[in-house]
């Protein structure tokens, strides 16, 4: 295909890349996508999808071992087949990856196996793992969707055996007896939940004052209480000073806010301290856009400082979320080809953590509202008072809604509880449509449902509800 010309060449086929490719093809543009590994990127193959399969199995196992006896159901859980649990998660990922391959064929998107290298704003080389050029194509525009990878802790290098990243955590050959997880953002918290449910002694380390530090404080505090009750050793305000790996395990040296140091012995150390953009080996010197702190800088059209070169998704920085990448990439394609001028609204980004209980949020936290000196009203409703939650035996958590006091506009929504991530869409839509406290409070919600807790939280602002 040497010398072939495209309207758009996309480098990377993750949630940004493959969505952009399909959208461009739907607009009648001749489109190509360069991908060096599996279609779907990290999210589909080694992130969002397989982890959710593991979480579902962990939740099911927890229900059998801890809730089942209360229901009058007793089963033999001694014959846990970890290899089948891992295999099911891989099957889910592989199935969806093949689905993207079908979408590409259906929409006539050309796929180039290999790594993309931008020679000029109108030329992309496809290279193999050794850097040898396999093909060269011309293009009108280029969209970089190369995503991000796990960030290393200074002085601590993953070895894939004792010190691992989230990728290895999904395919461990056996369930470890002990695990230290460094970093209590969404990734760290989800793996803490998974391995604790399967019986691992988990120590969760976070240098910030709370786990899930970007969430509303009430949510973070409640989740920490629940995790501690389940036997997870949660260490906040704690820095990791050193990790020494050996043949049979690792030693982690930690220091708390009072400068007290302790050493924790463990079988596995999981690094979950964040991600950094994949910006290396992508551009010739004359075609390198501005890069700030490992992220490609873009404007509201997702164009870089080099005309014709665009970027979207994790490679341009936070929020590092699959659904953000998909929307950014879609807007980038629509704006570059002049079919839309819409902009990304980062105030409407839903945030979800899929441990159990689930955590979901959109908009401002209470702390952010106070820092902005906003006059607010807050409504809270506990799932313990919700009929559906009682019926399914899952009552931990609450809904917290934050409203502007003068106009009743929804400013933020924060939930911890059963199926919170599924319930969130109602509140994202409400915020997008500038729904008020009364509109949410007096919209009829079916009974019995978990989503009634949203209505009740809105009514609770003025002392209503039940």
Q: What is the pLDDT of residues 146-161, one digit of tens each?
A: 999 988 888 898 999 9
pTM passes above 0.75: yes
Q: Are 209 and 379 in contact (CB under 8 A)?
A: no
| Pick among 3.50.50.60, 3.40.50.1860, 3.90.76.10, 3.30.497.10: CATH of 163-273 | 3.50.50.60
Angle at 15 between CA 323 and CA 44, to 5 degrees: 105
Show me where the domains of the chain are located: 5-46+86-150+276-347, 163-273, 357-460
Reply yes or no on whether 414 is catalytic. no
The b-or-e profile of 298-315 (16+ CB within 10 A means b, else e) is beeebbbebebbbbbbbb
Superfamily classification of domain 357-460: FAD/NAD-linked reductase, C-terminal dimerisation domain (3.30.390.30)
Q: Which CATH architecture has domain 5-46+86-150+276-347?
A: 3-Layer(bba) Sandwich (3.50)
**Catalytic residue (one of 59, 62, 66, 447):** 447
Q: What is the mean pLDDT of residues 393-409?
A: 96
Fold matches, 163-273 and 357-460: no
Biggest CA-to-CA distance, the chain = 70
Beta strands at 261-266 and 268-271: parallel, antiparallel or unpaired:
unpaired
Distances in whole angstroms, Cα of residue 126 to Cα of each of 122, 130, 131? 13, 11, 9
Instruction: Give percent of the chain above pLDDT 90.
Output: 88
User: How confident is the model over 65-76, as pLDDT tens digits?
Assistant: 877 677 777 776
Sheet holding 268-271, edge to edge: 163-164, 268-271, 178-182, 201-205, 233-235
Q: What is the mean pLDDT of the chain?
A: 94
3-state SS assignment for residue 220: helix
User: How confident is the model over 412-458, as pLDDT tens digits?
Assistant: 999 999 999 999 999 999 999 999 999 999 999 999 999 999 999 99
């Amino acid at each position: 295909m040497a010398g072939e010309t495209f309207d758009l060449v996309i480098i990377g086929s993750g949630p940004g890349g493959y969505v952009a490719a399909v959208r461009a093809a739907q607009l009648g543009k001749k489109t190509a996508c360069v991908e060096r590994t599996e279609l779907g990127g990290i999210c589909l193959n080694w992130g969002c999808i397989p982890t959710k399969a593991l979480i579902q199995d962990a939740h099911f196992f927890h229900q059998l071992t801890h809730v089942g006896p209360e229901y009058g159901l007793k089963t033999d859980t001694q014959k846990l087949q970890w290899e089948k649990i891992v295999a099911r998660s891989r099957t889910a990922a592989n199935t969806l990856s093949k689905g993207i391959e079908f979408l590409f064929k259906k929409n006539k998107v050309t796929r180039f196996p290999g790594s993309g290298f931008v020679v000029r704003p109108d030329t992309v080389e496809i290279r193999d793992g050794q850097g040898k050029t396999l093909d060269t194509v011309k293009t009108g525009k280029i969209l970089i969707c190369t995503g991000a990878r796990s960030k290393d802790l200074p002085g601590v290098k993953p070895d894939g055996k004792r010190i691992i990243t989230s990728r290895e955590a999904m395919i461990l050959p056996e369930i470890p007896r002990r695990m230290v997880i460094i970093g209590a953002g969404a990734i760290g918290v989800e793996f803490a939940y998974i391995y604790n449910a399967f019986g691992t002694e988990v120590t969760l380390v976070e240098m910030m004052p709370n786990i899930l530090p970007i969430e509303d404080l009430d949510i973070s505090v409640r989740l920490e209480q629940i995790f501690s009750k389940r036997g997870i050793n949660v260490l906040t305000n704690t820095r990791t000073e050193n990790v020494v790996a050996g043949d049979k395990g690792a030693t982690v040296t930690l220091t708390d806010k009072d400068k007290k140091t302790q050493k924790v012995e463990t079988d596995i150390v999981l690094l979950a301290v964040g991600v950094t953009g994949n910006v290396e080996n992508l551009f010739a010197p004359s075609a390198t856009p501005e890069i700030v702190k490992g992220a490609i800088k873009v404007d509201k059209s997702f164009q870089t400082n080099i005309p014709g070169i665009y970027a979207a998704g994790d490679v341009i920085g936070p929020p590092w979320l699959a659904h953000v990448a998909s929307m950014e990439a879609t807007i980038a394609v629509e704006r570059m080809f002049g079919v839309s001028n819409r902009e990304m609204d980062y105030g409407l980004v839903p945030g979800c953590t899929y441990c159990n209980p689930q955590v979901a949020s959109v908009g401002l936290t209470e702390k952010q509202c106070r820092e902005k000196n906003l006059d607010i009203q807050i409504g809270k409703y506990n799932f313990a008072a919700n009929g559906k939650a009682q019926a399914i035996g899952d009552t931990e958590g609450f809904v917290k809604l934050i409203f502007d006091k003068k106009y009743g506009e929804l400013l933020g929504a924060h939930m911890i509880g059963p199926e919170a991530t599924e319930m969130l869409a109602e509140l994202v839509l409400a915020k997008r449509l500038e729904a008020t406290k009364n509109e949410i409070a007096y919209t009829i919600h079916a009974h019995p449902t978990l989503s009634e807790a949203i209505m009740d939280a809105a009514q609770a602002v003025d002392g209503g509800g039940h």
